Amino acid sequence: MRTTLAGAAGVSLGGCATGSSSLVRTPPPDEDGYRLWLRYASPGAAARGYERAMRNIRVDGASATCGVIRNELRAATTAMFGRPVPLDESVQEGSVIIGTPRSSELIRDLNLGAELEGVGNEGFVLRSARVEGKSVTVIAANEDIGALYGAFHLLRLMQTARPIARLNVVERPAVQLRLMNHWDNLNGTIERGYAGRSLWQWRELPDTLSPRYVDYARACCSIGINGAVINNVNADVRILSAEYLRKVAALADVWRPFGVRMYLSANFAAPVRLGGLSTADPRDPAVADWWKAKADEIYALIPDFGGFLVKANSEGQPGPKTYGRTHAEGANLLADALAPHKGVVMWRAFVYDEDVDPDRAKRAYLEFTRLDGQFRPNVAVQVKNGAIDFQPREPFHPLFGAMKETPVIAEIQATQEYTGQAKHLVYLGTMWKEFLDSDTHAKGEGSTVANVLAGRVHPSRITGIVSVTNPGLDTNWCGHHFSQSNWYAFGRLAWNPELTAEAVAEEWTRMTFTNDDRAVATIRRMMISSHESFVNYTMPLGLHHLIGGDHYAPMPWNNRAPREDWTATYYHQASEEGIGFDRTRKGNRAVEQYFPPVCDLFDDLKSCPEKFLLWFHRCRWDYRVKSGRTLWEELCVKYYEGAAQAAALRETWQSLAGKIDARRHREVDERLAIQVADAAKWRDQILEYFGQFSKRPIPSDLRLTIDD
């Protein structure tokens, strides 16, 4: 008998919380961050208008997802209004009517056919309307999951104190796959996890289901995330064993009403290590049969299983090249097994064999462009935002737009592996917008990365964006309260990449901390400036990988590692003559992997954006940058500015005492103290190291800014 601690339609993140507004005089009560952006705090003065607009709630439909809608709206209104809005089938002034044309006669009678046809299976129409002579709010969708997304959208408007009297919202997600990629291990650890141990309690599953599994699915669904790969890309073969598949199936059952599908990272050598075969060669019929049988076994347990994510022939992981086969042959092997069940294979392009090219940044492009068109229809190549490895700033990966016949989905990273982990406040919405808005020029102007991912540049059977996001068992899920914003921003930008980073930051702040306008504006400014500040005090002007083995502390002197391209000196190449990696046409010609005019922009020293200067160019220390300063002086300015900006970030946060509950204010301040100290450490150690090569002093006016 399965013991369920919280049913799949349960709501345990809810509960009443007193939100702050411009009228609040007393400090808000302490919070621990567990409820994320689903606190449903009182929207203050706006609450009265919302109550008039929500006299009762009618949800037409009997599915488990409809049950989630009812529970969510009831919990949210109870928290925001101090009482639940009644759930009944009447139509009255102020009713909220939710359903699909199949489940609701009222929805059918509104004749929304043209609009519903345009929103697909996951989109929704949220509209103020008149039904039976009454002013009502309608959430209509083609499927129940779309109605749930619409309900969360309405609640988001209310949480952020937005008007809901005259609504006319029609939305659908920009891409199909919007997935969390967890790097969790079966022993409970998380690779690049900074918030405690794994969420998945394998010893208790499948018999005991933590209420946290429901809360996780709610959080994902509320921002449009529709799937999760729950195990590390460095995959343990046991995840595909019968024992663990039963555990995985129990999680999938909990998530299903929230539209969150299950995916698994598969180890390419599983037929050998788990199945007892002598080979995992893609051309061996016995290997193909093993994968087909395994797919049948999985779908018997999880009928809506999404598919496999594979890291192959990368950093020691097995793959088809072990047997002299191509990545396409390896991916197609698994794709054929999944195809009868409509599953997909996400094949990671994070490969950098040394025999492909001397420059690691060029290798994935060379490997995969020559395979374009050779992949099965249900294979997507999963490409990191940049060509190295989630660096604080990279130019967009040249594979975006280059694969004309193969679906390409993007992989970004919210877990802050190289951006301060859970110790630094670094909002990544600005970084991701820079990436998504980058124009590849694959088919002329307007061929942005976002448009490539949406299949608007090259027609694509599979569209998507995924994020390595590693929440753990820490009470606040992410270790740092502000790290929650990156989980939130991923979901919102995956749903709609046209949103601004500023708008997403404001939404998250109002839902997570306060609706006080001045406090919101202050926090939003902190968030928007935080990524550039981090780049300034760590790796400005296109520098990259100046970091140690833990991917946290500065280590520009690192010249010893199992591979040369795991060292810092490989990338910065500092000497008395200069610094930087020459990827121009006169260098190793990496710029030619980009379409013109992008390649021309990066190739020309004068036109190359200075944020990518040393990524593409090797420059003398006395090279004059756009400010008129020498390169050495500009580096010094950037590092000093970054450290000063980190200090200012903490001072600004301290000014919000009394506006934010004392517990979270204190916990964030403690992390900001670490960030200030780390920023100074980065500044001092990097400049001391590079000063040995430049033979130049730090400008005296900068040294005067050091806080004694």
- Rounded Cα gap, residues 520 and 334, in angstroms: 48
- 499: tokens are 């949103």
DSSP structure class, residue 404? S
Question: Is 397:371 a contact under the CB 8 Å cutoff?
Answer: no
One-letter amino acid at 58 equals R
3-state secondary structure (DSSP) of residue 54: coil
- Rounded Cα gap, residues 617 and 480, in angstroms: 36
Query: DSSP string of 105-165?
Result: HHHHHT--HHHHHHHTTT-EEEEEEEETTEEEEEEE-SSHHHHHHHHHHHHHHHHTT---S
3-state secondary structure (DSSP) of residue 374: coil
- Rounded Cα gap, residues 81 and 47, in angstroms: 7
Question: Is 520:363 a contact under the CB 8 Å cutoff?
Answer: no
Task: Let me know the angle formed at the C-alpha of 481 by 705 and 529, rounded to the nearest 5 degrees.
Answer: 40
Secondary element (H or E) of residue 95: strand 95-99
Distances in Å between the Cα of 183 and the Cα atoms of 199, 230, 613 are: 11, 7, 33
Q: Among 203, 165, 178, 188, which Cα is nearest to 259's? A: 178
Instruction: From the candidates 143, 144, 389, 603, give the one annotated as an active-site residue.
Output: 389
Instruction: From the candidates 30, 243, 315, 354, give the one annotated as an active-site residue.
Output: 315
Instruction: From the candidates 143, 417, 506, 516, give the one annotated as an active-site residue.
Output: 417
Give the chain's end-to-end CA distance (angstroms, integer).
65
Specify whether 389 is catalytic: yes
Backbone angles phi, psi at 359, to 5 degrees: -95, 120
Specify whether 315 is catalytic: yes
Specify whether 417 is catalytic: yes
3-state secondary structure (DSSP) of residue 87: strand
Task: Note every long-range contact of 113-117, with CB atoms under 8 Å and residues 24 or more positions apart, other chains counting.
Answer: 115/170, 116/140, 116/141, 116/142
Omega before 597 within 30 of 0, i.e. cis: yes
Question: Is 331:368 a contact under the CB 8 Å cutoff?
Answer: no
- 518: tokens are 């001045």
Identify the residue whose tokens are 């590092």.
639
Strand-pair partners of 181:
229, 468
- Rounded Cα gap, residues 505 and 526, in angstroms: 10
Backbone angles phi, psi at 579, to 5 degrees: -155, 150
Query: DSSP string of 503-530?
Result: HHHHHHHHHHT---HHHHHHHHHHHHHH
Question: Is 179:154 a contact under the CB 8 Å cutoff?
Answer: no
Omega before 556 within 30 of 0, i.e. cis: no
Backbone angles phi, psi at 702, to 5 degrees: -75, -40
Catalogue the active-site residues: 315, 389, 417
